[in-house]
Amino acid sequence: MDKVYPFSHDSPSDIPQARSIRLRLRSRLTQNGRKSLGQSFVEFAILLPLLLMMLSGLIEFGFMLNTYLDLIDSAREVARYLANDDPVHDVNGSFQGNSSVSPEPNNFYSARAWNLMYLSLDRSGNINLDPTTDNMIVSVFVVHNNAVTARYPTDFGENGWSQYPSSSHNTSAFTSADITTKLSSLTNVPPDTGLVMVEVFYEYHMIMGLPWIRVFVPDPVTLHAYSIMPNVNAAPTPTP
């Protein structure tokens, strides 16, 4: 009478062979797992430099964006303050469209505008303007029938008043025609008004300055921020 092996249909002679097959399968699975793990390490080693380059680029861009936001805030703060000041009349109330007169019209440019910008930049991001490459430019516009009819100070003309005339950026980025075009695209703008515009040019030097970033982005990067605010004192018919 043959011996019955419960839960198995293998005869005694088949058991060693089955064990051998299972061992070979287990060995192949182990080898395949090791190969897959090794392949993953190789792929990670290839992609790691690229990932680090992308991460460093994002960090550098974050630094630059933060500086640009500080410039925008400073330009807006100064323009908002100058909106309540008088850029075309001296302390005696006489009309003075030239910034080179003495006394300067209400100390509008070199005293008030520049001092405000200096304090604002120092407070917002400890940004120091280089007289050779950076600059602050202030322009005052007279608007009649939604078109610019005059730009002050007249001694600087279309260039705008410049804190550093010898700077590489000593000219406004906008002409009077550009401002007229901007006004034409806006609604609810009084046809007769005055405007004051504050511009800041700043050469941003990369903090990390990594070579693989400089390949795609120049160093330094010129940042230009500006803000325009109404100024009733420069209007054709100033509000008393």
- Specify if 42 maps to a domain: no
- For residue 21, being part of any structural domain is answered with no
Beta bridge mates, 226? 199
Nearest C-alpha neighbor of 135 from the set 161, 167, 175: 167
Alpha-carbon span 77 to 162, nearest angstrom? 18
Any domain includes 43:
no
- DSSP readout, 50-96? HHHHHHHHHHHHHHHHHHHHHHHHHHHHHHHHHTTS-SSB-TTS-B-
94 CB-side CA count, 13 A: 7
Tell me the residue range of the domain where 109 lies.
56-234
User: Is residue 17 assigned to a domain?
Assistant: no
Running along the chain, 240 residues long, what does each successive block of 10 average in pLDDT? 51 59 61 63 79 88 93 94 84 69 67 87 84 94 92 90 90 95 86 93 91 88 95 73
Is residue 41 one of the residues assigned to a domain? Answer: no
- Provide the domain count of the chain: 1
What's the confidence (pLDDT) of residue 240? 46
DSSP label of 197: E
**Structural domain contains residue 116:** yes
**Which pLDDT value is given to residue 136?**
95
